[in-house]
A and B are shown apart, each in its own frame.
Chain A
């Protein structure tokens, strides 16, 4: 008995020596590599791959990158990472695609100390994890980097968990716009929707257009006295109801006040906007109810099959629209305006986890993924918008992604790109603390509004005290 215990002890001591030896060793080589890499980095950026061949000492490094996304996103991201490893052959990247229950999976990985080095993370989760000290401050890398500075990046793609503390920059920017089937407009004898934010539909014009585009089985539109709302063949418009902040901000409302102590969605401007969205469903019968939308095909197919004439949706739907463009004559318009020009911008950040032993290499990969040059297929296909400002401002760069392909028809640059750049406002996940809990109170209440069982004012006033109990403030004031 004593013998085995002794053996175990020696074994453990030996093990701990090995482990600590390893970690300190890798720690050292890490810091050595840092200077080497940045130098190497700049040189390769200017002088291209040929310089790469000169013998430079690098210990092999393996990174783990986790992400989610459609099969297409997976393919393009993996291709981008492959070209990264070709350029920096001593870095090996293991990619782990987690299509479902991403946060749950990462939480499990965190509990068993198998965290990735770098990866996508939902914005609100990223902010929470960052404030718990599990994520690197990206500004620490940006401030020391010769290639990119924080001023090169669109503000609406950055998740700050505190002043000067950046948890991550989005993989992509997304914004909302109007997508429509041109034939539906021609058949109804309507002019095509405007693309410039200054000429956008007012809400009344928008409702009227939607009414003219909503047809029942007998072909009456929603303005016709004979219109039968129980037998609608073509809906005027659909919109993702979770994106109601588009209406709220456009109507001058807010989610919470600046310091996050007061729930503002129940205020008149916000409630009015939400009611106007609900009226599209229950009063004007131009948009499908939540249950009806379950039977509708998704974006591109709905437009193509003329179940829907317009969709007010995120610009990512362009990837499907572009793919269907041979059979679908679609156009892009600017989202309607209630009082102010506004389009919600969103996206999920890429973060570098504190668990990584190779932060510098992780940053190199980070930078690589930030550059649309390396992921161009995701941008040209319409799924992603770049996060770097120059890709919106420099005409040559703009034409590389936002023109000359089926996913970016005429009008795109005004209706989506410029509108997002000029009038984009951040989604709530960029600043509200305890958001998932708060949403779990708001969503059931709004469900009642969309179903026409309660007015927005009633439903939101009722949950105000509950929500305010869960308000924990904001990460940074907006």
Chain B
């Protein structure tokens, strides 16, 4: 008994010791800053003068519309998320399905589709700036062939967000690779049983592939949500939130508040609201997951 406790103690100590870099990292770089930012969010703080506590007015200023851009940026971001996440998942899934077939040059195509993911965000933004150019850009040159001309892309208030969604579809490589891994985990004998039953490829897709892929789809959906809500680079590099705040994404709005207007207090409040929004949505996705995500361990439900 005593020796068992001792052993546990010893093991626990060793465990904690080995995990300590991660624990320390979490405390110093995640939990600490989070607590600090929560304290900032209750104050007026511009770094150069002392911090002044003002209670929850940073939050009320956002909610009651004193800052007219809060709802605007929330709306813009939601628009982007709703448009980009389903499209990304659908496209990545379809590409993964194609690349899962034993076709010639499979590895070549996999590389090609994954490649844009490696390109740094700044570089790909520059490339797309050129593509989107209304006068000289490749997209408008191509459309001219079909008689469509003069699209303003990211320079037009209505097209700016859809343009950036289009651009985001270029970097679905990461999502695609995860789908591919999932597809390869599907046991062959399940497909064979469909064949035995005389089913065609459509049956295979709807009765085997998609149900068995739901955990992977779920994972990609959650990651997509979180990633898209934090979209920043395109707004920062390509549009600076314009035209007329049409691409004032939430993270960019936060950045501007903090580093252009130096109001760390309200920027922290903005960050916490984003945290709560993402948390809420992720929880919602998790809650609904019981309805459609297949889980082997849970058996029948």
Within A27-86, the residues touching B (CB, 8 Å) are none
* A437 → B minimal CB distance (Å): 6
- CB proximity to B under 8 Å, residues A436-459: 436-437, 440, 443-445, 447-448, 451, 453
| Pair B244/A107 contact, Cβ less than 8 Å | no
**How many angstroms between the C-alpha atoms of A444 and B49 in the bound complex?**
30
Given contacts A132-B48, A466-B68, contact A437 B135 (CB under 8 A): no
**Assuming the A-B contacts A104-B259, A436-B261, are A134 and B136 also in contact, with contact meaning beta carbons closer than 8 angstroms in the complex?**
no
A-side binding surface: helix, strand, loop or mixed? Answer: helix
How many interface residues does chain A have, given as a range? 20 to 34
Q: Is A295 an interface residue (CB 8 A)?
A: yes
Q: Smallest CB–CB gap between B299 and chain A, Å?
A: 54
A292 to B133 Cα, complex, angstroms: 9
> B48 and A447: CB pair below 8 A?
no
Q: Smallest CB–CB gap between B272 and chain A, Å?
A: 20
Total number of B residues with any Cβ neighbor in A under 8 Å: 21
Closest A residue to B263 by CB, please name it. Answer: A437
Cβ-neighbour of B260 out of A129, A295, A436 (below 8 A):
A436
Taking the nearest CB of chain A, how far is it from the CB of B300, in angstroms?
56
In-complex Cβ contact of B48 among A107, A436, A443 (8 A) = A107
Chain B contacts of A466 at CB under 8 A?
68
Residues B66-105 near A (CB distance < 8 A): 68
Other-chain residue from B47, B68, B133 in contact with A295 (beta carbon distance below 8 A): B133
How far is A453 from B152 in the complex, measured between Cα atoms in Å? 13
> CA–CA, A24 to B136, complex, Å?
65
Say whether A447 contacts B68, CB under 8 Å.
Answer: no
Residues in B with CB closer than 8 Å to A129 are 48
Report Cα–Cα, A447/B243, bound state, in Å: 7
On whether the beta carbons of A447 and B242 are closer than 8 Å, the reply is yes
Q: What is the distance, in angstroms, from B61's C-beta to the closest C-beta of chain A?
A: 11
Shortest Cβ distance from B180 into chain A, in angstroms?
Answer: 39
Within the assembled complex, what's the spacing in Å between the Cα atoms of A290 and B47? 35
A292/B135 in contact, CB under 8 A: yes
- Residue B245, interface by CB 8 Å: yes
| Other A-B pairs, 15, CB within 8 Å; known A103-B260, A104-B259 | A103-B259, A103-B262, A107-B47, A133-B49, A291-B133, A291-B134, A291-B155, A292-B135, A294-B133, A436-B261, A440-B260, A444-B243, A444-B244, A445-B244, A451-B155
19 A-B residue pairs with Cβ-Cβ distance under 8 Å, sorted by A, are A103-B260, A103-B262, A107-B48, A110-B47, A111-B47, A132-B46, A291-B134, A294-B133, A295-B133, A436-B260, A437-B261, A440-B256, A444-B242, A444-B243, A444-B244, A444-B245, A447-B243, A451-B155, A453-B157
Q: Which residues of A contact B (CB under 8 A)?
A: 101, 103-104, 107, 110-111, 128-129, 132-134, 290-292, 294-295, 436-437, 440, 443-445, 447-448, 451, 453, 466
